[in-house]
Amino acid sequence: MFVCRAVVVAAGLLAALARPAAAQQDAADAQLRSVLRAFYFNLAHHDWEAIAADVLSAKVLASRPAPASLQMATRDRVRIRRSGSPAGEPVGCSSSSSAVVDGAAIHIDGDWAGVSIPRCGVASAGADEFRLIHFEKRWRFVYIDLFEEPRMVSTDR
């Protein structure tokens, strides 16, 4: 009976400790999605000053390298981008910037976040890739790689 009660108490403590972490993760996801929606809005309206205000200088980042988990994820996505979408991995596309951000894959590692957002072109699909850092109480961009559909070159004259 004592062992059973100790297990229940331990499980309760673990659940209580997990809740704040999950709440922090949810809050960070919501903040990141808000920053991304603003980015796409500013991009659509060619508001370069607003975009620049959310980009962190490389000089500040020199002493804060990205975690290895984000660097590995970025390398994997670049490899997939070059060779095409991995088999069986569907790409969901939407023309709405809000729906695009809702489909974002977000990976948070401490103060860093890696984000991949599926995008579709006329003939191919890809993803916008971002890396952000939580700096001075807000998420700031440190890496932006927007999906650009390969251009078809015609040999007709």
Domain assignment present for residue 135? The answer is yes
Domain assignment present for residue 152? The answer is no
Query: Residue 84: its pLDDT value, please?
Result: 47
Q: List b or e across 89-98, with b for residues whose CB sees 16 or more CB atoms inside 10 angstroms.
A: eeeeeeeebe
Domain assignment present for residue 18? The answer is no
Residue type for position 157 = R
Domain assignment present for residue 55? The answer is yes
Domain hosting 127: range is 27-145
Query: Residue 80: its pLDDT value, please?
Result: 45
CA–CA distance, 86 with 80 (Å, rounded to integer): 7
CB 55 within 8 A of CB 140: yes
Question: How many independent structural domains does the chain possess?
Answer: 1
Three-state DSSP class for residue 91: coil
CA–CA distance, 40 with 38 (Å, rounded to integer): 6
The one-digit pLDDT tens for each residue of the chain (157 residues) are 545 555 555 555 455 554 555 676 788 999 999 999 999 999 999 999 999 999 988 766 656 666 676 665 555 554 444 444 443 344 455 555 566 788 889 999 989 999 999 887 666 778 899 999 999 899 999 999 998 877 665 566 5
Domain assignment present for residue 154? The answer is no
Phi, psi torsion values for 38, nearest 5 degrees: -65, -40
Query: Residue 103: its pLDDT value, please?
Result: 85
